[in-house]
Amino acid sequence: MSTRRWSTLLAVALLLTVMAVPARSSSAEVTSGQVVTLPGGLDLGYELSGSATMVRTPVSGGTTRVVIHVWGLDPNTTYPTHVHNAPCGATPPGGGHYQNEVGGAVDVVNEIWPTVITNARGVGVGRATHDAWAREDAQAIVIHYPPDTSIRLACVDLS
| Mean pLDDT, the chain, integer | 87
**Which pLDDT does position 7 carry in this prediction?**
34
Say if residues 136 and 71 touch (Cβ distance below 8 Å).
no
**Which of 59-63, 76-80, 109-113, 117-121 is least confident?**
59-63
**Which pLDDT does position 8 carry in this prediction?**
34
Cα 119 from Cα 152, distance rounded (Å): 20
Task: Supply the pTM of this predicted model.
Answer: 0.83
CA 104 to chain CA centroid, nearest Å: 17
Res. 17 pLDDT band, cuts 50 70 90: very low
**Which pLDDT does position 93 carry in this prediction?**
98
Q: Is the dihedral of CA 55, 132, 97, 78 positive or negative?
A: negative
Say if residues 110 and 60 touch (Cβ distance below 8 Å).
no
Q: How many alpha carbons fall within 13 Å on the CB side of residue 46? A: 27
Q: What is the mean pLDDT of residues 58-65?
A: 90
**What string of DSSP letters covers 31-42?**
EEEEEEE-HHHH
Of 53, 77, 73, 67, which Cα lies nearest the Cα of 157?
Answer: 53
Say if residues 53 and 30 touch (Cβ distance below 8 Å).
yes
**Which pLDDT does position 26 carry in this prediction?**
63
